[in-house]
Amino acid sequence: MASCVVTTSSFCTVSDSSIRLKSSKLVHLQRRRSLGSRGGLKVEAYYGLKTPPYPLDALEPYMSQRTLEVHWGKHHRGYVDNLNKQLGKDDKLYGYTMEELIKATYNNGNPLPEFNNAAQVYNHDFFWESMQPGGGDMPQKGVLEQIEKDFGSFTNFREKFTNAALTQFGSGWVWLVLKREERRLEVVKTSNAINPLVWDDIVCERVSLIFSCYKVMFPLDHMYFCCCCLQPIISLDVWEHSYYIDYKNERGKYINTFLNHLVSWNAAMSRMARAEAFVNLGEPNIPIA
């Protein structure tokens, strides 16, 4: 195989000749069996390197194939490999989804060694899917309406996004997120590997406290309320490795190009639709058949 990639994320065991997919339940069973295992089943690797939803040269000339080859093929792959190595050491972190793993390893601001790799795997998956060939331009319908509602105008959003990307000193990411409590879109920036998912916990603790009284009457799963208080919609990688080959030090040019030619408002639309399962943005616009 030219490149060993798995096209679905999470819970893959990778051996030389086969790829097996396991659900979280099965992994738990695996763990119990693997100590003194009969049948020789051994959980080896947990996350696969997801390919971007387009060929590596599809974003030319705005993001070169060379950049994709190094950024995805070396940086992103490195995070996946290193994460798998860490997870292979003991079974403390078995059975998590990616989002759960990130929150668990973030450890309320005192990150465990696995956090950097886990978060960066998620961040890069999200980033590739935030772009598309022939991207850029303007969003449509619901996304555009929400942006105009929360930022005043699309131009204002662009300005805020660009400014955040330019003033993220050092390495990091810029995000358009949907905030569940405030029920609005916002631009946030994060440093190094941090992403908006880690900011869930503080809010969710409060929410679950309120609802704990109702647990007898309404047995609600704690996790239901703690799914993504900040829903990421779009992200931009502003680590230097993301733009240095194509733009050298000119981060501003890179940001402009991303907004003009790369950002996938289609992806934003589907992420917004999913986010609306958790955030009540008001009366749905039911089209008249």
Partner 1 sequence: MAIRSVLSRRTLSSLKESSSKLLGLRGIQTFTLPDLPYDYSALEPAISGEIMQIHHQKHHQTYVTNYNNALEQLDQAVNKGDASTVVKLHSAIKFNGGGHVNHSIFWKNLAPVNQGGGEPPKGALGGAIDTHFGSLEGLVKKMSAEGAALQGSGWVWLGLDKELKKLVVDTTANQDPLVTKGGSLVPLVGIDVWEHAYYLQYKNVRPDYLKNVWKVINWKYASEVYESECK
Binding site for partner 1 (CB under 8 A): 70, 74-75, 78, 116, 169-172, 191-193, 239-241, 244-245, 248-249
What 3-state class would DSSP assign to 35? coil
Cβ distance to partner 1 smaller for residue 199 or 239: 239
**77-87 vs 113-129: helix crossing angle, rounded to 10:** 140
Q: Which residues pair with 178 in a beta bridge?
A: 185, 231
Cβ distance to partner 1 smaller for residue 67 or 264: 67
Residue 169 token pair: 């000193």
AA letter at 242? S
CB of residue 249 vs partner 1: minimum separation in angstroms? 4
Give whole-number Cα distances, 79 to 8, 49, 64, 112, 234, in Å.
Answer: 16, 9, 21, 15, 21
CB of residue 191 vs partner 1: minimum separation in angstroms? 7
The H or E element spanning position 230 is strand 230-237
CB of residue 225 vs partner 1: minimum separation in angstroms? 31
Cβ distance to partner 1 smaller for residue 102 or 226: 102
Cβ distance to partner 1 smaller for residue 244 or 278: 244
Non-local CB neighbours of 263 within 8 Å, separated by 6+ positions = 130, 131, 135, 136, 234, 236
Cβ distance to partner 1 smaller for residue 69 or 201: 69
CB of residue 78 vs partner 1: minimum separation in angstroms? 7
Alpha helices for 130-236 (secondary structure H):
141-151, 154-166, 200-212, 222-225
CB of residue 86 vs partner 1: minimum separation in angstroms? 14
